[in-house]
């Protein structure tokens, strides 16, 4: 569970489907997807998040107001393909009844702190459709800048997306800690083969935890450097 000043971010459960449908099945909320989801699409969406928790240790979380307990949307980190590798992306979908109150910015900032501080990521991304200006403004307010563009083909439509990102170096060091010396200036784009190799080697070293795979990467690299210095 992750908390911010006004919000609680928690794992979704199978019992949250009816709450998710309030936003996912609303065409106005889902305008960047060109349609409101069907009941089946919403159920598939939920199952993907549950699967991500098991596979990646992260995913989109449910966002709940601290003061009322109201379920207002989703925000979290998912692993997404980009440039031949895999990157951690901060994403968010909020019930439109709660738009314009800064909740998306606050939740995304909390996820950014989690991504850098807990997952050990060196760069975090948001891949946002070019017509989704509110989401782009959230990324901008949290210190992200455009670093490229891609086109996604979805629902029979070519959809241009802007790739936003922020590195650990460019965030507030007091909030997120110092960047790892071996990753300065290098984007956190990791191929599936690299991930499996790091997980295998880290597991042999006894420092890998399935619930937070990216946290093991800097520790494993640090152990390699320490052992190299001893050999030298």
Tens digits of per-residue pLDDT, 185-215? Answer: 333 344 444 445 444 444 443 333 343 444 4
Q: How far apart are the C-alpha atoms of 224 and 101, rounded to whole Å? A: 46
Mean pLDDT of the chain: 79
155 and 222 share a domain? no
Q: Which range marks the domain in which residue 31 is found?
A: 2-190
182 and 224 share a domain? no
Is the CB of residue 95 less than 8 Å from the CB of residue 104? no
168 and 199 share a domain? no
**CA nearest 161: which of 137, 128, 183, 194?**
128
171 and 207 share a domain? no
More confident residue, 181 or 214: 214
**CA nearest 133: which of 107, 164, 165?**
164
E strands, the chain, in order: 2-3, 7-10, 60-65, 71-82, 85-94, 123-129, 145-154, 157-167
97 and 168 share a domain? yes
Residue 99 CB partners (closer than 8 Å, separation 6+): 134
Provide the edge-to-edge strand list for the sheet that holds 85-94.
2-3, 7-10, 60-65, 71-82, 85-94, 123-129, 157-167, 145-154
144 and 156 share a domain? yes
User: pLDDT tens for residues 78-89?
Assistant: 999 998 899 999
Is the CB of residue 143 less than 8 Å from the CB of residue 166? yes
Query: CA of 146: how far to CAs of 38, 124, 125, 143, 179, in Å?
Result: 32, 12, 10, 10, 20
Q: Which pTM does this prediction carry?
A: 0.72
CATH code at 31?
3.40.630.30
What's residue 170's pLDDT? 86
What average pLDDT score do residues 47-52 get? 96
12 and 109 share a domain? yes
User: pLDDT tens for residues 7-42?
Assistant: 999 999 999 999 999 999 988 888 788 888 999 999
- Helix 17-24 / helix 39-56 crossing angle, nearest 10 deg: 120
13 and 126 share a domain? yes
What's residue 196's pLDDT? 53
**CA nearest 10: which of 60, 45, 61?**
61
């Amino acid at each position: 569970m992750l908390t911010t000043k006004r919000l609680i971010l928690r794992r979704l459960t199978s019992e949250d489907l009816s709450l998710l449908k309030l936003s996912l099945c609303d065409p106005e909320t889902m305008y960047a997807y060109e349609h409101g989801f069907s009941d089946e699409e919403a159920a598939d969406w939920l199952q993907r998040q549950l699967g991500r928790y098991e596979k990646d240790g992260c995913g989109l979380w449910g966002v709940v107001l601290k003061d009322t307990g109201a379920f207002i949307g989703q925000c979290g980190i998912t692993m997404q393909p980009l440039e031949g590798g895999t990157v951690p992306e901060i994403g968010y979908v909020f019930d439109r009844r709660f738009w314009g109150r800064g909740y998306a910015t606050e939740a995304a900032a909390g996820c950014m702190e989690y991504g850098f501080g807990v997952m050990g990521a060196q760069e975090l991304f948001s891949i946002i459709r070019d017509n989704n200006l509110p989401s782009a403004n959230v990324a901008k307010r949290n210190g992200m800048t455009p670093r490229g563009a891609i086109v996604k083909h979805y629902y029979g439509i070519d959809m241009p997306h802007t790739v936003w990102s922020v590195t650990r170096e460019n965030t507030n060091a007091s909030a997120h800690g110092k960047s790892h010396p071996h990753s300065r200036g290098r984007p956190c784009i990791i191929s599936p083969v690299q991930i499996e190799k790091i997980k295998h080697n880290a597991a042999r070293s006894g420092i890998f935890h399935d619930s937070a795979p990216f946290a093991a990467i800097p520790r494993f690299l640090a152990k390699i450097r320490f052992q190299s210095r001893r050999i030298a």
